[in-house]
Structure 1
Amino acid sequence: MAQKNSIKILSVLILSMFVSSAHAGRQTKAPQTPQEELMALKEGNERFMSGEKAGHDFHYQINKTKDGQKPYAVILSCLDSRVPPEIVFDQGIGELFVARVAGNVENDDILGSMEFGTAVMGAKLVVVMGHTKCGAIKGACQNVKLGHLTGVLDKIQPAVAQVKKSNPKFNTESYDDLDHVSQAHVMLTVEEIRKKSKIIRDLEAQNKIRLVGAMYDISTGKVTFLDDVASKSGVAKNW
Structure 2
Amino acid sequence: MCDSFEFPRQYTGSNRRSFLRMAGAATALGFAGGLPFAGLARADALTKAQRERMTPEQIIEIMKEGNARFQRGERKNRNYLREQRASAAGQYPAAVLLSCIDSRAPAEVIMDLGIGDIFNCRVAGNIANDDMLGSMEFACKVTGAKVVLVMGHTSCGAIKGAIANAELGNLTGLLAKIQPAIQATNYDGERSETNYPFVNAVARKNVELTMDNIRHNSPVLAEMETHGTIKITGAMYNLGTGAVEFFA
TM-score (norm 2): 0.80
Residue 207 to residue 74, structure 1, CA distance change in 2 (3 Å): same
**Counterpart Cα distance in 2 of 1:22 and 1:168:** 49
**Counterpart Cα distance in 2 of 1:55 and 1:115:** 32
**Counterpart Cα distance in 1 of 2:192 and 2:85:** 51
Aligned sequence identity (%)? 44
Range moving further from structure 2, 28-37 or 199-208 = 28-37
Q: Does 1:209 align with 2:230?
A: yes
**Counterpart Cα distance in 1 of 2:241 and 2:114:** 21
CA contact (8 A) 2:105 2:237 kept: yes
**Counterpart Cα distance in 2 of 1:100 and 1:201:** 21
Q: Does 1:174 align with 2:195?
A: yes
Q: Give per-residue Cα distances to partners, 1:72-118, cap 9 Å, x unaligned.
A: 00000001000001101111111110010000011110000000000
CA contact (8 A) 2:100 2:152 kept: yes
**Counterpart Cα distance in 1 of 2:71 and 2:169:** 37
TM-score (norm 1): 0.83
- 1:24 deviates by 4.2
- 1:22 deviates by 3.2
1:121 is matched with which residue?
A: 143
Q: Does 1:193 align with 2:214?
A: yes
1:230 is matched with which residue?
A: none
What letter corresponds to residue 117 of structure 1 in structure 2? A
Q: Does 1:53 align with 2:75?
A: yes
Q: CA RMSD in A?
A: 2.3
1:6 is matched with which residue?
A: none
- 1:66 deviates by 1.3
2:119 is matched with which residue?
A: 97
Q: Give per-residue Cα distances to partners, 1:153-202, cap 9 Å, x unaligned.
A: 00000011112x55364233110010000000000000000000001000
- Tell me, which stretches of 5 or more residues in structure 2 are unaligned? 1-13, 19-36
State the aligned residue count. Answer: 211
- 1:25 deviates by 7.9
- Report matched runs for 1:1-239 at 5 Å: 22-24=41-43, 27=46, 29-30=50-51, 32-163=54-185, 166-167=187-188, 169-226=190-247
- 1:26 deviates by 7.8
What letter corresponds to residue 162 of structure 2 in structure 1? A
- Which structure is higher in helix share? 1
1:233 is matched with which residue?
A: none
The higher radius of gyration belongs to 1
**Counterpart Cα distance in 1 of 2:44 and 2:115:** 15
